[in-house]
Structure 1
Amino acid sequence: MKRKNCCPIAQALGVLGDKWSLIVLRDVIFGKKRHFNDLLASPEKISTNILANRLKTLQEESLLCCCVDPENRRSKIYTPTEKAQDLVPVLVELYKWGEKYNDNVDRVDNPNQAGLF
């Protein structure tokens, strides 16, 4: 994808700036969700067409790899790349920020229960 802006933050937002990309990455990285239907079952209720679009975009941006599931040849497995794993500290800080400044979030006594640590 060709970028018009040289600012690293603007470029990162060009890839990750929509709600669904970060939710999909959260689920793949922390939730260990690897299949389309697992990702579709997230509590945020992403639609099938948006999920398919985000998975495609995240693959094009080298954030996810996709391969055929050896146990079910009609199914695909999505795995995070090193580039996606490099976002872990960013996602953890977003989680902490969201928990600190929002009253209507699901709080957990143990951050490991949120799947982030």
Structure 2
Amino acid sequence: MGASASGFDSLSRMMEEQLQTVKSQTSGYAQQLSSVNKNISALNALYELQVNETKACLESFRGMQSDMGEMLEHVSLGLDSTKLFRQESQQLAHNVASLNSVYGNMLSVVNNN
């Protein structure tokens, strides 16, 4: 029975050693998983930040596009107004020339008498 108890004792010690090895390996594995989890969380936070910044840039570009459209509309209206001003200026110059001709003829008639 002594040999049997000694065998159990030896087996018990081996199992204890194996259990300690498993515990230390499990602890290391848990630490590595924790480290991986932290890294993934950091990457996720960076990704979320990048997505939010991309959304903000997109909204900014949409606002700029709207502003550019409005600006082009104003430029187009300004161009139309400039064309109208040019036409009216030409008409005014023509009318002044006609009036000068009429007044010139009137002065000629008055000076001849």
Same-fold call, TM > 0.5?
no
Normalising by structure 2, we get a TM-score of 0.18
| Higher CA-based Rg | 2
Normalising by structure 1, we get a TM-score of 0.18
Per residue, is there more strand in 1 or in 2? 1
Between the two structures, name the one with larger relative contact order (CA 8 Å, sep ≥ 6).
1
Per residue, is there more helix in 1 or in 2? 2
